[in-house]
Amino acid sequence: MTTLDDLGAAVTIGHPVRRVVSLVPSLTEAVAVSRPEVLIAATDWCTHPVDLEVERVRGTKNPNGRRIIELAPDLVLCNQEENRRIDVERLREAGIPVWVTRIETLNESFSSLRRLFTEALGGTVPNWLTEAESSWAAPPPAPTRNAVIPIWRNPWMVVGHDTFTGDLAARLGLRLVHADRAERYPHVSEDELTRDIELVLLPDEPYVFTRSDGPDAFPGLPVALVEGRSLTWYGPSLTTARDTLTHQISQAFVA
């Protein structure tokens, strides 16, 4: 069948799909939990499930295209933000069907994942996705705290507008101070980093912030060390992400 991926590209997929390569950690976990029998390869960054045993084809930005083609997958999964267009084009030129997702909001993650499992993989909606939608169904609180979410240090980079993480933060009642910048992930100076900030969220990926690396840059401010997977991944982690992040944020004000 031929269907359109999230970017509107026509993708011809032979069903049943039996061989899938995922170049997106979130999607790797989603498929491994729901359709483990079809997943044959993933990137080095695909760390969940923790016991995942499939062939590794390097990283999200430098996949081993030659090896992927040799594996002859029925479908390769990519994401507009995490993977390079040139890698998608090279695989398609080699006759490999590639399904590209585009996810910038929580609602987009739900609709994109539903289409992935039903249209691309030709199956049913997994139970965890229904549970995740239910867990986030309650309306978000009004923004109550000005927050910053750094994703890198030296130089400092933070979460800005039109991002999945930014939308999740809004659902938790946070207002990202740097969301008015032109860039989706702006670089900021140390002075800008803390200006008008009431709360700091430090995830453990892509930069691994820890108690000894990160909070030192925000003296006197509440700092929540949060699970990056709950904050940035769209997949099974969404079933517990709201409760997990809410608890981790609350702990920042009692520490």
**What average pLDDT does the chain have?**
96
Is the CATH number of domain 145-252 1.10.3720.10? no
Please state, in angstroms and rounded to a whole number, the distance separating the CA atoms of residues 203 and 228. Answer: 5
Using an 8 Å Cβ cutoff, are 86 and 109 in contact? no
Torsion angle, alpha carbons of 246, 252, 254, 255, to 10 = 140
* Residue 67: band (very low, low, confident or very high) from pLDDT cuts 50, 70, 90: very high
pTM beyond 0.95: the answer is no
Please state, in angstroms and rounded to a whole number, the distance separating the CA atoms of residues 223 and 243. Answer: 17
Which tens digit of pLDDT belongs to each residue from 81-119? Answer: 999 999 999 999 999 999 999 999 999 999 999 999 999
Using an 8 Å Cβ cutoff, are 197 and 148 in contact? yes
Question: What pLDDT is attached to residue 32?
Answer: 98
Four-way CATH pick for 2-125: 3.40.50.1980, 3.40.50.300, 2.60.40.10, 3.30.930.10: 3.40.50.1980
Q: Locate the domains of the chain by residue range.
A: 2-125, 145-252
